[in-house]
């Protein structure tokens, strides 16, 4: 079944588009976390980031870079978060890869409030676990 983003891409659901290329589209989030909250979406419907074709990923990153710069500039060079929620447990609500660009101000809440110190041993163990899966 087509995601809501695929329906936006095909034009059957309206959106406030910022820009698009042959492979990507940027539009404003209809439930923004902040003014200027923009979504960056590949036109090819893929649920998870790691399942994207590497060439499509590279193209998406170039587009994301261009749009993020414009969003920041539009609000006077404001700071911003670039967020990918990859999977339900990470908060992904639309099962179609998408990045959020969320402008931040001095009054914005901090995103990483639950941090804790990890020992070098814990970090080494985690790094080793991840390295096993590098191709």
The catalytic site residues sit at 98
**Strand, coil or helix: 104:** strand
CA 87, CA 12: separation in Å to the nearest integer?
25
For residue 9, the 8-state DSSP code is H
In order of 37, 115, 118, 122, 134, the CA distances from 63 in angstroms are 16, 31, 35, 36, 26
Which residues, in sequence order, are CB contacts of 54 under 8 Å at separation 6+?
none
């Amino acid at each position: 079944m087509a995601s809501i983003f695929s329906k936006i891409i095909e034009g059957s659901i309206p959106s406030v588009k910022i820009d698009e290329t042959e492979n990507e589209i940027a539009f404003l989030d209809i439930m923004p976390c902040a003014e200027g909250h923009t979504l960056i979406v590949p036109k090819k419907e893929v649920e998870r980031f790691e399942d994207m074709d590497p060439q499509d990923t590279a193209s998406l990153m170039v587009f994301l870079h261009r749009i993020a710069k414009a969003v920041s500039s539009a609000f006077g060079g404001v700071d911003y978060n670039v967020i990918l929620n990859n999977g339900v447990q990470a908060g992904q609500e639309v099962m179609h890869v998408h990045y959020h660009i969320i402008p931040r101000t001095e009054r914005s809440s901090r995103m990483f409030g639950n941090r804790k110190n990890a020992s070098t041993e814990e970090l080494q163990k985690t790094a080793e676990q991840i390295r096993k899966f590098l191709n």
